[in-house]
Amino acid sequence: MDIREVRTDSLDAHRLLTDYFTWRAGEFPPAQGAYTVTYPEPSAFVAPDGVFLIAVDDEPVGCGGIRRISPDDAGRVRFEVKHLWLAPSSRGRGLATAMMDELESRARGFGADLMVLDTHHTLTGAARLYSARSYVPVEAYNDNPNATVWYSKDLRTPA
């Protein structure tokens, strides 16, 4: 497997994001309303304020990025994980862990104190991944209509 940095508007990233949004919309609980699709703004995922990566295993099979968001109330530098996704056929082989390793490493390199993310409580596999990586539930830090759970990880402690 290879992890490559790309623009969010590249052909590979756009295809993966479209696959992700289509999959997520199909899994979204009807009681919560329609899944809101928002393609990432390319300028938010450019170093040193962010990066967007794709996982390639013969072909592109996953994506994810980080972007700088406003500091928390204590002034700590925060980066947010966005659109971490792997094609269902590529799951269970450690690719999500490899992607998170790289995203956290990049965030540290950009000066992040904290990594934050939001997700949906029905994504139990994602919750297991984040918990295993020392992410802890926190109060909502945004108003993402697709999210029901928010997490944070202190990046200042050794990996």
Q: How many domains does the chain have?
A: 1
Q: Under a CB-based contact definition with an 8 Å cutoff, are residues 71 and 65 in contact?
A: no
Count CB atoms within 10 A of the CB of residue 21: 18
How far apart are the C-alpha atoms of 55 and 85, rounded to whole Å? 10
Q: Which H/E stretch holds residue 91?
A: none
Tens digits of pLDDT across the chain (159 residues): 899 999 999 999 999 999 999 998 888 877 777 888 999 999 999 999 999 999 999 999 999 999 999 999 999 999 999 999 999 999 989 999 999 999 999 999 999 999 999 999 999 999 999 999 999 999 999 999 999 999 999 999 765
DSSP letter at 157 equals S
What is the pLDDT at residue 136? 97
Say which CATH number the domain at 68 has.
3.40.630.30
Asked whether residue 99 is assigned to any structural domain, the reply reads yes
Cβ-based neighbours of 102, under 8 Å, separated by 6 or more: 3, 53
CA distance 74 to 8: 31
* Residue 114 to residue 76: CA distance in whole angstroms: 7
Instruction: Answer whether 66's CB lies under 8 Å from 82's CB.
Output: yes
Name the residue among 62, 106, 84 with its Cα closest to residue 151: 84
Would 125 be classed as within a structural domain? yes
Find the helix or strand (DSSP H, E) in which 93 lies. Answer: none
Q: DSSP alpha helices (H): ranges in the chain?
A: 11-27, 95-109, 124-132
Is 92 a domain residue? yes
The answer to whether residue 74 is domain-embedded is yes
Range of the domain at 30: 2-154
Residue 116 within any structural domain of the chain: yes
Task: Tell whether 159 is covered by a domain.
Answer: no
Written as one letter, the residue type at 115 is M
At residue 159, the pLDDT reads 57
At 95, list the tokens: 């690719």
Cα distances (angstroms) measured from residue 70 to each of 77, 82, 141: 7, 15, 10
pTM here?
Answer: 0.93
> What does the pLDDT read at residue 158?
65
